[in-house]
Amino acid sequence: MAKSKPRGQRSRNVFHIASQKHSKTESKAKPVTTNLKKINILNDEKQCHENEPADVDEATRLMAQFNTSKRPIN
């Protein structure tokens, strides 16, 4: 007697399914918008830098430059 062939979808091997790589790429994080980058740059510039060490040589040069440019009017 002839065997009856199963009709419809055949069930796949579980191990074959588990070993397959997913071809669908997952959604990645979108890059930050340029406007947000500009805002962050401006905020960084506005921050007070009190904890940074002062450059004494630069400060004395600027003070000397300020004093020479400011002359009393007679």
Q: What is the pLDDT of residue 37?
A: 78
In a domain? residue 7: no
Residue 27 lies in a domain: yes
**Structure confidence by residue, pLDDT tens digits, 13-66:** 767 666 666 666 667 777 666 777 788 888 887 776 666 777 888 888 888 888
Query: Does any domain span residue 48?
Result: yes
Token pair in block for residue 54: 């002062």
- Tell me what pLDDT residue 71 has: 61
Q: How many domains would you assign to the chain?
A: 1
> Which helix (H) or strand (E) covers residue 16, if one does?
helix 14-19
Q: Is residue 5 part of a domain?
A: no
Domain range for 50 is 14-70
Question: Is the torsion defined by CA of 24, 25, 26, 27 positive or negative?
Answer: negative
Could you tell me if residue 2 is inside a domain? no
Query: Is 1 a domain residue?
Result: no
User: How many residues are present in the chain?
Assistant: 74
Record the pTM: 0.25
Separation of alpha carbons 37 and 30, rounded Å: 14
pLDDT score of 23:
60
Distance of CA 66 to the CA centre of its chain: 41
Residue 56 belongs to some domain of the structure? yes
